[in-house]
Amino acid sequence: MEKIKNFITRNIKFISCLLIAMAIAISLTTIYVVITPQTQTNNKEEAAIQQPPSPVKRGEKYIPSLKASLNEGVTLYTDTELDNSMFNVELFSGDKTEAVTGFTLSGELTSPEAEILISYNGYNTYIKVAVSEAPVEIQTSQTEEIIVSSPEPVATAGKMVYGVPMIYQNAEGLPGGCEATSLTMCLQYIGIPISAYDTYMYYMPHSWDTTDIENIFIGDATCGGYGVYVGGVITTANNVLAAYGSGASVYNHTGDLAGMYAEIDNGYPVVIWGTDGWGDPNWGTYYSNAGAFEWWSNEHCLCLVGYSDTTVTIHDPYRGVVEIDRGWFEYEWANCGSRAVAVH
Both 235 and 337 in a single domain? yes
Identify the domain containing residue 299 by its residue range. Answer: 147-343
* All residues at 6 or more sequence positions from 70 whose CB lies less than 8 Å from its CB, including other chains: 76, 86, 87, 88, 127, 129
Residue-wise pLDDT for 183-223, tens only, equals 999 999 999 999 999 999 999 999 999 999 999 999 999 99
> Based on the structure, what is the number of domains in the chain?
2
Question: Mind listing the pLDDT tens digit for each residue in 1-46?
Answer: 666 666 666 666 666 666 666 766 665 555 544 444 444 444 433 3
Whether the CB-CB separation of 244 and 195 falls below 8 Å is answered with no
Shared domain for 83 and 198, answered yes or no, is no
- Domain-located, residue 256: yes
Q: Are strands 206-207 and 217-218 parallel, antiparallel or unpaired?
A: parallel
Report whether 227 contacts 215 (CB < 8 A): no
Same-domain check for residues 89 and 214: no
CA distance 230 to 297: 17
Nearest CA to 138 out of 129, 147, 130 is that of 147
Residues 107 and 226 in one domain: no
Q: Are residues 71 and 213 in the same domain?
A: no
Q: Which of 90, 105, 130 is the last residue of a domain?
A: 130
Let me know whether 261 and 299 are in one domain.
yes
**215 falls within a domain:** yes
107/180 same-domain check:
no
Measured between alpha carbons, how far is 225 from 213 in angstroms, rounded to an integer?
A: 11
What are the C-alpha distances in Å from 25 to residues 16, 18, 19, 39, 200?
14, 11, 10, 20, 99
Gap between the Cα atoms of 299 and 228, Å rounded = 10
The answer to whether residue 15 is domain-embedded is no
40 part of a folded domain: no
CATH (domain of 273) = 3.90.70.10
pTM over 0.95: no
**Does residue 28 lie within any of the structural domains?**
no
Q: Which of 77, 104, 130 is the last residue of a domain?
A: 130
Last residue of one domain, picked from the residues 84, 99, 130: 130
**In this structure, is residue 87 part of a structural domain?**
yes
Query: Do residues 105 and 196 both lie within one domain?
Result: no
pLDDT per position as a tens digit, 274-313? 999 999 999 999 999 999 999 999 999 999 999 999 999 9
Does the residue 36 lie in any domain? Answer: no
Q: Is 54 inside a domain boundary?
A: no
Same domain, 189 and 231: yes
